[in-house]
Amino acid sequence: MRAPAGLHLDYLSPAEYQSAGWADVLGVATFNGPPAPAPGSGEIPVAEVNTPLLLGTADVYEVWRSGQPAESGQRNRVRFRRSKNLLFGCIALAESEIAAGRAAPSALHAATEEAYREICATLDALGFPHLLRVWNYLPDINRDSDGIERYRQFNQARQHALSACGRAVRGKVPAASALGAASGSPLVVYFLASREAPAFIENPRQMSAYRYPREYGSHPPVFSRATLLRQKDSLTLFISGTASIVGHRSIHVGDTAAQTRETVANIAALLEEANRVERAARFSLGSLACKVYLRRPQDLPVIRAELAAALEPASRVIYLQADICRQDLLVEIEATGMCPLKADA
């Protein structure tokens, strides 16, 4: 089968994963443990995330392809794979191990700062200066420890590390998500980076996350609402974890259906903004690959019904159980859109 042009995302079943071609694969994320070995996949970096899949699906593999030959490597604890212009990497750090002997406000702070310092050092060494998209999974994200909520500890440490590495903490920052993982899991971070800078997209309906007031913590989250990568033959839109937030406030607290509709409205606003910024873009809700996080598995029928009304039957959607960064949010959706470019675009 001919490889798709440019960066491409697939959600594969175990059978599809076993028969996949691997020459252009950049990396894989799994959600129910490591994948079964597949021929030719031995050096592919795999981010093992502990957020259970819903809908009775035993396994789904998130597979990122570049459309070009790729080679694997490792720098310290970052496993990576790169093509000519794109890089996928992942790192997993257990708080109990990395925090030993460290002078840090908390074990999570130490692990987060170490992970981001290693990521930045890897990108600098390999010549991929532009983070496009980052996925962060930390156990017990909403629990208080060391006198502060763990998500706020994470935000503080991420900002400290990025600043120390000479990277922006507002404005030109990557799309990102931060979700809870099962207790006892390591901190898992995986990411995509490029040699070329993306466009950075904000949502007119929302305050930029990096400008949040101090009521959300001493250090605001470091992410753009979306990033848009232009390649020779395609456009890729990375939509950050998106929820029922207008301005900077959570709305529809306690109402799962209304939160889902508001989340879709925010994603639609980002698509409109991306199409405005990049005139050649034709992103639509029906063209997205969506990853949906539910705080409460029992809300799945309600959320599925709302998304069935908003998306198209062929839309690619997977559902996972995970705690969300704010305790009053019940659903979060991240998405990826890919749009081919005409030769004269």
Q: Report the amino acid identity of residue 157.
A: A
Dist CA 175 CA 195 (whole Å): 16
Q: Spell 258-275 as b/e; 16+ CB within 10 A means b.
A: ebbbbbbbbbbbbbebbb
Q: CB pairs under 8 A, 24+ apart, for 70-73?
A: 70/23, 70/24, 70/25, 70/26, 72/43, 72/44, 72/45
Beta strands in 95-206 (DSSP E): 130-139, 144-145, 148-149, 175-181, 187-194, 199-201
Dist CA 291 CA 196 (whole Å): 26
Q: Spell 207-240 as b/e; 16+ CB within 10 A means b.
A: bbbbebeeebbebbbbbbbbbbbbbeebbbbbbb
Q: Which residues contact 267 (CB under 8 A, 6 or more apart)?
A: 239, 242, 285, 288, 333, 335
- End-to-end Cα spacing for the chain: 26
Cβ-contact 196, 85 below 8 angstroms: yes
Strands 130-139, 175-181: pairing kind: parallel
Catalytic site residues? 332
Q: Which helix (H) or strand (E) holds 261?
A: helix 256-277
Residue 232 phi, psi (nearest 5): -60, -45
Q: Which helix (H) or strand (E) holds 291?
A: strand 288-294
Q: 100: which DSSP letter?
A: T
